[in-house]
Amino acid sequence: MSNPKLFHLVFSFVMAAMMLFIMTFVVTWANIGFRSDFLLAWAKSYAVAYCVGVPAIYFIAPLARGISSRILGEKAL
């Protein structure tokens, strides 16, 4: 890996896109069901969640890696 900081930034964008795509779908479906405005409500939820999710993943992922390493008794990545 040539640039760990750039990798972490790109990882945050990709991870947020994938995770929030699924999570906002499920939560929107659970809250309103498949009605006529489902796609619009889902898109709105996704956009809001993505704006929050990218920074959250960027700042929380290193903490989660550290905690996971401690639990497993391994050196942090």
The per-residue pLDDT string of the chain (77 residues; one tens digit each, 9 = 90 and over) reads 578 889 989 999 999 999 999 999 999 999 999 999 999 999 999 999 999 999 999 999 999 989 999 999 887 66
- pTM of the entire predicted model: 0.79
- What gap in Å lies between CA 62 and CA 77, rounded to an integer? 9
Compute the distance between CA of residue 17 and CA of residue 22 in angstroms, rounded to an integer: 9
- HEC profile of 3-30: CHHHHHHHHHHHHHHHHHHHHHHHHHHH
